[in-house]
């Protein structure tokens, strides 16, 4: 899709089988475990350095290369990579952030590999074709200050291409947040698996082109993952299966609650539930606006909203929130739907109506519920934090339901701690009504018996892929129109 890069956005995907995202603490544990399975830390460092050297040769085959080396293993990777390039005939300079005598452990071994000269003071970056950033690792847990901050600021100001080792220095590899200062990378080389900080914003835009290198980490040393890039491999096995004798009732009956004023929102959601595969979709709407809905919908049944709504055992999943209106009526109806203990999607007003009584909502939710708030709606009920991944994970655990924290880097979190990060949503998806379509997709998949976490992940992916399929100029109705093509491509993978 050639137009995508014009918006400063490229969809990110993982190599097959490498969808897991490991945070820096997990990576450190894997490094420590590797020697027990026959692979030394020095071997891992040599492999990582070789990957960095290959990247430099591929992207910057000419000119002088400067390596900036910090005190830890990130700096060790840089030192070994510098020696590899030197042996290949490249002109290489090395500047160490610390006195070489203070390096310890594997970093000291890496220093012993370097046979070239040291830059005694920070050089003019403009002398070099590329600067390899090996200053600070992904496990940064404090703001960068002092001489290190000044060096990074100088690098950023130089506009010289940067090849970052693992993450650009100053980036928190767990959250994607900038810790004080950062020089954006042109290319970032990471190892084993991507980290959440590569995928979450603003880190996503600061890493440049991401490359993932296999450095021979023994399979038994890999940590149990609880965070993944949102890819079909994680939920495709749970997609509804159509049989030769399937009919509309076996595919499930979804009900979407409509409101009095913003009638378009719930209609979009209902149509999206149809496109997700629900066999039947009904709407329950206030009697005063029944003609508005009935006159606009052909294949969706419309009924007046009444007290008998929750007694219909044929309904497999509910959706309330889009266009429902803020207030007591929405709050009471939401609680009534939740009390049925059937799958339920809560969006928009169904969440915000509990801003004054958040605990009432939290107490009513259950594991078959999916909440789809944007950041503002989320903040009305849950505790916010710069780390979107951990904020969503904590909220899901707190409410006992699946939570979809919408945004450019949508996070899908389950109560048991599992989380997905979506990395394929284009910026033109940011348009009024697109969230209503997403809520409808989730409801349609729940209606067909898909588990809540997997249904949410699939819906978010389908939603993003539909936006990519259509391109700039998209309006919510376009998502619904192109979904069949996205479904066809997805099902052809199976």
For residue 140, say whether it is annotated as part of any ligand binding site.
yes
For residue 400, say whether it is annotated as part of any ligand binding site.
no
In whole angstroms, give the CA distance from residue 278 to residue 83.
60
For residue 408, say whether it is annotated as part of any ligand binding site.
yes
For residue 436, say whether it is annotated as part of any ligand binding site.
yes
For residue 463, say whether it is annotated as part of any ligand binding site.
no
Both tokens of 304, joined, read: 């007046």
For residue 279, say whether it is annotated as part of any ligand binding site.
no
Alpha-carbon separation of residue 256 from 28, 67, 367, 384 (angstroms) = 47, 58, 19, 29
CB 315 within 8 A of CB 342: yes
For residue 76, say whether it is annotated as part of any ligand binding site.
yes
Q: What is the 3-state secondary structure (H, E, C) of 124-193?
A: CHHHCCEEEEECCCCCCCCCCCHHHHHHHHHHHHHCCCEEEECCCCCECCCCCCECCCCCCCCEEEEECC
In whole angstroms, give the CA distance from residue 179 to residue 307.
53
For residue 133, say whether it is annotated as part of any ligand binding site.
yes
Residue 404's Cβ-count burial label (10 Å; 0-12, 13-18, 19+) is buried
Residue 2's Cβ-count burial label (10 Å; 0-12, 13-18, 19+) is exposed
Residue with structure tokens 């891992």?
A: 44
For residue 306, say whether it is annotated as part of any ligand binding site.
no
Contacts of 301 (CB under 8 A, 6+ apart): 280, 281, 282, 283
For residue 146, say whether it is annotated as part of any ligand binding site.
no
For residue 147, say whether it is annotated as part of any ligand binding site.
no
The residue count of the chain comes to 494
For residue 340, say whether it is annotated as part of any ligand binding site.
no
For residue 347, say whether it is annotated as part of any ligand binding site.
no
For residue 307, say whether it is annotated as part of any ligand binding site.
no
Both tokens of 290, joined, read: 């029944």
For residue 410, say whether it is annotated as part of any ligand binding site.
yes
For residue 209, say whether it is annotated as part of any ligand binding site.
no
CB 343 within 8 A of CB 447: yes
Both tokens of 282, joined, read: 């009904």
Q: Helix, strand, or coil here: 256? A: strand
In whole angstroms, give the CA distance from residue 433 to residue 323.
10
For residue 406, say whether it is annotated as part of any ligand binding site.
yes
Residue with structure tokens 């767990």?
A: 174
Residue 16's Cβ-count burial label (10 Å; 0-12, 13-18, 19+) is exposed
For residue 141, say whether it is annotated as part of any ligand binding site.
yes
For residue 277, say whether it is annotated as part of any ligand binding site.
no
Q: Which segments are annotated as binding site for (6S)-NADPHX?
A: 73-77, 137-143, 166, 265, 323, 374, 436
Task: Show binding-site residues for K(+).
Answer: 74, 133, 169
Q: Write out the binding residues for AMP.
A: 406-410, 435
Provide the annotated binding site.
Answer: 73-77, 133, 137-143, 166, 169, 265, 323, 374, 406-410, 435-436
């Amino acid at each position: 899709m050639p137009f995508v890069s014009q918006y400063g956005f490229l969809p990110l995907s993982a190599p097959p089988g490498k969808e897991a995202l490991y945070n820096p603490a997990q990576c450190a544990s894997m490094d420590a475990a590797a020697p027990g399975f026959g692979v030394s830390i020095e071997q891992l460092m040599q492999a990582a350095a070789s990957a960095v050297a290959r990247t430099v040769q591929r992207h910057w085959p000419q000119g002088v290369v400067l390596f900036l080396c910090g005190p830890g293993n990130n700096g060790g990777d840089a030192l070994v990579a510098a020696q590899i390039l030197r042996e290949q005939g490249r002109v290489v300079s090395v500047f160490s952030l610390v006195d070489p005598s203070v390096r310890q452990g594997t970093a000291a071994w890496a220093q012993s590999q370097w046979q070239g000269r040291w830059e005694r003071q920070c050089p003019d970056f403009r002398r070099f074709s590329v600067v390899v950033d090996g200053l600070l690792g992904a496990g940064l847990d404090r703001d960068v200050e002092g001489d290190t901050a000044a060096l990074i600021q100088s690098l950023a100001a130089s506009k010289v291409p940067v090849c970052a080792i693992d993450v650009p220095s100053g980036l928190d590899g767990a959250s994607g947040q900038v810790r004080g200062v950062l020089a954006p990378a042109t290319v970032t080389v990471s190892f084993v698996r991507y980290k959440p900080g590569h995928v979450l914003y603003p880190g996503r835009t600061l890493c440049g082109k991401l490359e993932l290198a296999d450095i021979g980490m023994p399979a038994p040393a890999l940590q149990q993952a609880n965070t993944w890039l949102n890819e079909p491999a994680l939920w495709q096995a749970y997609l509804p299966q159509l049989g030769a004798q399937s009919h509309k009732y076996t595919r499930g009956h979804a009900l979407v609650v409509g409101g009095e004023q913003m009638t378009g929102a719930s209609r979009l959601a209902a149509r999206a539930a149809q496109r997700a595969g629900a066999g039947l979709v009904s709407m329950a709407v206030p009697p005063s606006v029944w003609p508005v809905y009935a006159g606009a919908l052909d294949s969706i049944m419309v009924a007046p909203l009444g007290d008998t709504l929750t007694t219909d055992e044929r309904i497999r999943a509910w959706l309330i929130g889009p266009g429902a209106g803020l207030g007591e009526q929405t709050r009471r109806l939401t609680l009534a739907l939740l009390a049925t203990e059937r799958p339920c999607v809560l969006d928009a007003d169904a969440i915000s109506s509990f801003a004054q009584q958040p605990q009432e909502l939290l107490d009513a939710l259950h594991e078959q519920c999916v909440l789809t708030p944007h950041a503002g709606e989320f903040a009305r009920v849950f505790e916010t934090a710069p780390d979107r991944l951990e904020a969503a994970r904590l909220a899901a655990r707190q409410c006992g339901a699946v939570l979809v924290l919408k945004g450019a880097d949508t996070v899908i979190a389950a109560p048991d701690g599992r989380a997905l990060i979506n990395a394929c949503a284009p910026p033109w998806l940011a348009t009024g009504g697109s969230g209503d379509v997403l809520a409808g997709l989730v409801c349609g998949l729940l209606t067909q018996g898909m588990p809540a976490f997997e249904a949410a992940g699939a819906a978010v992916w389908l939603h993003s892929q539909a936006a990519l399929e259509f391109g700039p100029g998209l309006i919510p109705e376009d998502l619904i129109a192109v979904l069949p093509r996205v479904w066809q491509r997805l099902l052809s993978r199976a």
